[in-house]
Every structure is written in structure tokens, then in C-alpha cells.
Amino acid sequence: MRFEVELQLNEKLFVKNPQATDFGRNLLKQSICLIDEIGFEKFTFRKVAQKLNTAEASVYRYFENKHHLLLYLTNWYWEWTHYMIDRKTLNLTDPKKKLEMAIHLIANSLQEEALTSYIDQKTLINIIIREGSKSYHIHDIDEENKDGLFLSYKELVEKVAGFINEYNPKFKYKKSLVSNVFEMANNQIYFAEHLPRLTDIKDNKDEFDELEKMIKYFVFTLIKK
Amino acid sequence: MRFEVELQLNEKLFVKNPQATDFGRNLLKQSICLIDEIGFEKFTFRKVAQKLNTAEASVYRYFENKHHLLLYLTNWYWEWTHYMIDRKTLNLTDPKKKLEMAIHLIANSLQEEALTSYIDQKTLINIIIREGSKSYHIHDIDEENKDGLFLSYKELVEKVAGFINEYNPKFKYKKSLVSNVFEMANNQIYFAEHLPRLTDIKDNKDEFDELEKMIKYFVFTLIKK
DNA sequence: TTTACTATGATAGTATTACTATCTTTTTTA
DNA sequence: TAAAAAAGATAGTAATACTATCATAGTAAA
């Protein structure tokens, strides 16, 4: 039997917790698959319902709309990354080592073991890279923020910023550097694959290792004591 | 009489050049206004046509769809930034000075004089900050890239990367650093305004100056000889 | 064991979106 | 002055983004 972790996500993200039922877990699985395949703009609840051989209305019982579904997925990703960073830095004391591990997990998230059977992490990462930033680049950002829908991201950024603080408390731009590292990680991989003239990362098997190396170089050069 | 510059944009961005007619220029103006107001997702050709007291079909005579309109606006922004960088670095010889000027223009783009009467730059910048990245985070990125729809961005990044090359040719991540500076500039302002726990930039009158200072610190620390 | 509650299925319906087509009128240009 | 191009007006269609309702199957509480 497999060890399955259920990440706790903000209740305002969903109407009914999709992790709690077979239908919900299936919905997540097929949604990830379909968004990856046709892109978030073309993705509809009707289409995913067809894939699941069910009615559109059933999908609305879990998520208010597709924006909330995407937000759910990005939150899942943030919580999962946070969980992995916690787990893998627990027994480390050297701030440099902690930071290196965090960067490794941010840049090279694919390498890690799967947490659940119903979320395909490889495909989820693809979605996060291409669609992730759409979950907060929205007109109603301030209202959604009030509902706490971005808390997971904030806490994740502050966690890693804490490592920088341990390493060199005098560095002035802890949070900006960390949030930028998250954005950069996704963007540079996207550019390597689709707009290679915008990056020095080459699109090959080692792209994630190259990225990790570059981010480490950037971060440690900037925060040098 | 005002000096008006017409930026040359890729012909595949539009069906009919909106800069060439009164209707087109008005369409650009009202679209910028409306996207800023209601957000790109809620923006439709019908709504902007209503604002212009015209029919939806007329708008389709200029742009294939709203995605192409957004792409047009981001291209306009890239071309405009490129144009300003060219103009303001023309009489500079010191690579450091050139780079500083480029960063100033990227971070503090608002400060510069307007190029046209039909594009409200303050509002356009708002749109670029919130919606800009949606113009290339799309499923059909590779086909659009083949049509050259991102050439302006590539040339802009390579222009600034060229300054880094003049300053320190040994630095390994020229293009990644520059593309990251562009992304960072928009993101950090967005975070300052909406998700302040993700950044060290404070949301006040000086936010663009703070941003400029931070980016200069990042860039010159990284590319130090 | 009946009752009640919950989850899903099935169907229907509505306003809006994202277009395309066509025909007329006005404006520009040759 | 004719012809071409641009814009206006109207109509129509398939898909999207929902909401509502009613039936049914399973599960839990009285």
C-alpha cells in the first residue's frame, strides 16, 4: 500500500473538497491532463465532464469556475513544494545547505517522488510553468487575496526568505529575491522550450540542472556576506 | 503640433493596421482603457464596440481576436521600450552608463514622455504589468513564434544583453539575466501593489525608483568583473 | 427499519461569448 | 465620375459559462 499525503488547502478554493471523493480525485486528474493538452483558455468544464462521462453540472459542485480550479492546482503546487522543503531541510543546520536544498527543490521539482496517485506531478509542473501565473494575474486580485487564496505562496516565499535571513541577515531584498527565483524558475524553463533567444538555458535533458546551477549562482552571488 | 512616432509592428499581429486610421487609433485607446478597467478575461470585442458606438464586426476588421489585440499592445510596449533605449543610449559610450540607462527605462518607464496621443502610456503599463505575460503563456506559443510575433521581445532582450556583453563579456547568463529583469520589473511592482508579502518594494510614490535601485543592485552585483 | 440526508446523474434552460456572413452606405482614390 | 475600400447595420450560429430542477442511489442517524 502506498503512503498518500493529503495537503490541506484553503477551503475557499473549492465548493467541495476534491481530494475527499473518488469523483473529485478523478476530476483533478483529468483536469490536469486536459489543461496540459489544450491549454487553459480552451479548457472548459463541459470538456472535462465529457472525459469523465459525467455532466457539466457535477463539475460545478466541486469548483466555482475554471479559475478556481487553476488556483487550486497552483495552491497544491505551492503546498507541495513547501512540504518538500520542510521535509528535506528538517535535519539540516547549515543555512547554506538549507538554501541549496530549497533551490534544488524549486528548480528541479520533477526529481522528487510523487505524493499522490491522482496528481500527475510531471504534467502539473507543465501546467504551473505555462499557466501558473494566470492564477494571480487577475482583475479581482485584491478580493481573492482577502480570502487568503495566496497565503500558501506567501508562506512559501517567507520560508525560503527565512533561510536567506539565517545565511546573511543584512541582505536587503530577501523576499523579492525569493519570489523572483520562483518566477524565474518557471519562466526560464518556458523560454528554453519555446523562446530560446530569451534565455541561456538550453532545452535538453539537463535543463533543470542548468537552471538549478544558474539560480544558485545568482542567489549566492547576491547574498554574499 | 505634436511629434507623433508610428512604431512599426509585425503585420501578422493585425488584420488591418490600427495605427493607420482614426477608427483604429480609437479602438486602441478604448481597448487599453477597457482592459485596464475590467481585466483581460472579461474584456470582449462587443463591449469595446459599444464604447465606440460601433458594431462588433468592425473590431474584427482590425484584430483576429482579443489575444491578438493583447499581443499587439505588448509588442507596442516592447518596440517603444526598445526605441527609448536606442534614443537614450545613442550618445553614451560607457557600457555601464548604457546599462544603467536601459535599467532606468525598463523599471521607470512611466517617467518618459508620451509617443502618441492615442496610446495612454500610464494605462498601458498597468496592462503590461497585469496582463502582459498572458500574451506568450499560451498553448499555441510555437506556431505564433514561427510567425515572428515575439521578435520584438527577443531583439529587445538581445539589445540589453549586448550592453552586458560590452561591460563584462565573461558573464555567462546574459540573456537570462535580461529577460529576468523584464519579468521581475513587472512582477515586483504587481506584488508591491497586490501581494506585498512577496516583495521588499513598498507600494508608494517611489515604488518605481525603489525597483530601479534594486534591479541595478542585482544586475551590477551579478555581472561584476 | 424507516427516515433523512448526501452525492451524483440527467435534463433543460439562459445570457453571453466568439465569431462569420451579408448587405448597405459612406468615404477615398484613380 | 467610377470604382474600390472602409465602415455601419443586422442577423445568425456554435460554444461558453453558468443555474435550476428533479430523479435516484447509497449512507447514516433515529
> A214 to chain B: which residues are within 8 Å by CB?
173, 176
User: Exposed, middle or buried, A175 (CB in 10 Å: 0-12/13-18/19+)?
Assistant: buried
Q: Does A196 touch chain B (CB under 8 A)?
A: no
Cell of A88: 528535506
> A194 to chain B: which residues are within 8 Å by CB?
136, 141-142, 145
Question: In this structure, are residues A128 and A185 in contact, taking their beta carbons and an 8 Å threshold?
Answer: no
pLDDT given for residue B109 in this prediction? 82
Cβ separation B173–A222 shorter than 8 A: no
pLDDT given for residue B4 in this prediction? 62
Q: Which residues 37-56 in chain B show a CB within 8 A of chain A?
A: 38-42
pLDDT given for residue B184 in this prediction? 98
**Other beta carbons within 10 Å of A116:** 19
> B137 to chain A: which residues are within 8 Å by CB?
130-131, 133-134, 190
Stated in angstroms, how far is A23 CA from C2 C1'? 29
pLDDT given for residue A1 in this prediction? 35
Q: Does A130 touch chain B (CB under 8 A)?
A: yes
Amino acid identity at B126: N
pLDDT given for residue A2 in this prediction? 43
Distance CA B207, CA B110 (A): 12
Q: Which residues 73-92 in chain A show a CB within 8 A of chain B?
A: none
Q: Does A225 touch chain B (CB under 8 A)?
A: no
Q: Does A171 touch chain B (CB under 8 A)?
A: no
**Other beta carbons within 10 Å of A156:** 24
Question: In this structure, are residues B169 and B162 in contact, taking their beta carbons and an 8 Å threshold?
Answer: no
Q: What is the pLDDT of residues B74-124, one digit of tens each?
A: 999 999 999 999 999 999 999 999 999 999 999 988 777 777 888 899 999
Q: Which among B134, B139, B142 is the nearest to A137, CB-wise?
A: B134
Q: Does A175 touch chain B (CB under 8 A)?
A: yes
Q: Does A199 touch chain B (CB under 8 A)?
A: yes
Long-range contacts of A191-198 (CB under 8 A, 24+ apart): A191/B176, A191/B179, A194/B136, A194/B141, A194/B142, A194/B145, A195/B136, A195/B141, A195/B145, A195/B150, A195/B153, A195/B154, A197/B154, A197/B157, A197/B158, A197/B175, A198/B153, A198/B154, A198/B157, A198/B175, A198/B176, A198/B179
Residue of chain A whose Cα is closest to the Cα of B184: A180
Q: Which among B130, B173, B187 is the nearest to A214, CB-wise?
A: B173
Question: In this structure, are residues B2 and B69 in contact, taking their beta carbons and an 8 Å threshold?
Answer: no
Cβ separation A140–B39 shorter than 8 A: yes
pLDDT given for residue A114 in this prediction? 77
Distance from CA of B54 to the nearest CA of A (A): 26
Stated in angstroms, how far is B63 CA from D5 C1'? 18
Interface test with B, best of A156, A173, A221, A224 (most B CBs within 10 A): A173
Which residue's CA lies closest to nucleotide C22 at its C1' atom? B57
Cell 551590477 belongs to B220
Cβ separation B41–A131 shorter than 8 A: no
Cβ separation A221–B217 shorter than 8 A: no
Q: What is the pLDDT of residues A97-137, one digit of tens each?
A: 999 999 999 998 877 777 788 889 999 999 999 999 999 99
Question: Going residue by residue through chain A (225 aa), what tens digit of pLDDT does each one get?
Answer: 345 677 899 999 999 999 999 999 999 999 999 999 999 999 999 999 999 999 999 999 999 999 999 999 999 999 999 999 999 999 999 999 999 999 999 998 877 777 788 889 999 999 999 999 999 999 999 999 999 999 999 999 999 999 999 999 999 999 999 999 999 999 999 999 999 999 999 999 999 999 999 999 999 999 998
Q: Which among A131, A141, A158 is the nearest to B194, CB-wise?
A: A141
Question: In this structure, are residues A211 and A111 in contact, taking their beta carbons and an 8 Å threshold?
Answer: no
Is the pTM value of this prediction over 0.85? yes
Q: Which among B40, B133, B221 is the nearest to A133, CB-wise?
A: B133
Stated in angstroms, how far is A56 CA from C13 C1'? 14
Closest CA to A73 of A148, A10, A156, A155: A10
**Other beta carbons within 10 Å of B34:** 19
Q: Which among B38, B172, B180 is the nearest to A184, CB-wise?
A: B180
Interface test with A, best of B44, B173, B189, B213 (most A CBs within 10 A): B173
pLDDT given for residue B2 in this prediction? 42
Distance CA A104, CA A100 (A): 6
pLDDT given for residue B6 in this prediction? 79
Query: Consecutive 10-residue runs of chain B (225 residues): their mean pLDDT?
Result: 70 94 95 97 96 94 97 97 96 97 92 81 95 98 97 98 98 98 98 98 94 98 94
pLDDT given for residue B117 in this prediction? 84
Give kind and range of the element (H or E) at residue B39: none
